[in-house]
Amino acid sequence: MLTSIQNYYEQLVMEAIHDVLAGREEAQDAEFVADLACVALNRLPARYIRHCVDLWSHISDDERLLMHQEVIAAVTTALATIRRRQRS
């Protein structure tokens, strides 16, 4: 089994979720965080890597910034989606 392969967006999404939910009760709810991560990741392309350096050595600063912006947008949209579903 190839356990060293990962989708780099997973790390970025989890970091963004941590930042967005900082100090909120939802941050302590593992089920909520997992659901949020899944919804956000489904809005993003897969970027498979074995080592972070593999990715960072092949993309420009502009691409890094775009990835960060895409992740923030995906997490923000996922959070709104989950909250809307909870109210329904």
21-30 pLDDT per residue, tens: 999 998 899 9
pLDDT on residue 48: 87
Q: Total domain count for the chain?
A: 1
Tell me how far apart the alpha carbons of residues 37 and 15 are, in angstroms, rounded to a whole number: 10
Residue 76 resides in a domain: yes
Domain coverage including residue 17: 6-87
Query: Among 13, 26, 6, 28, which residue's Cα sits nearest to residue 68?
Result: 13
35-81 pLDDT per residue, tens: 999 999 999 999 888 876 666 677 888 999 999 999 999 999 999 99
pTM: 0.86
Tell me how far apart the alpha carbons of residues 13 and 8 are, in angstroms, rounded to a whole number: 9
Residue 69 resides in a domain: yes
Residue 1 resides in a domain: no
Phi-psi region of 23 (alpha: psi -120 to 50; beta: other; left: phi over 0): left
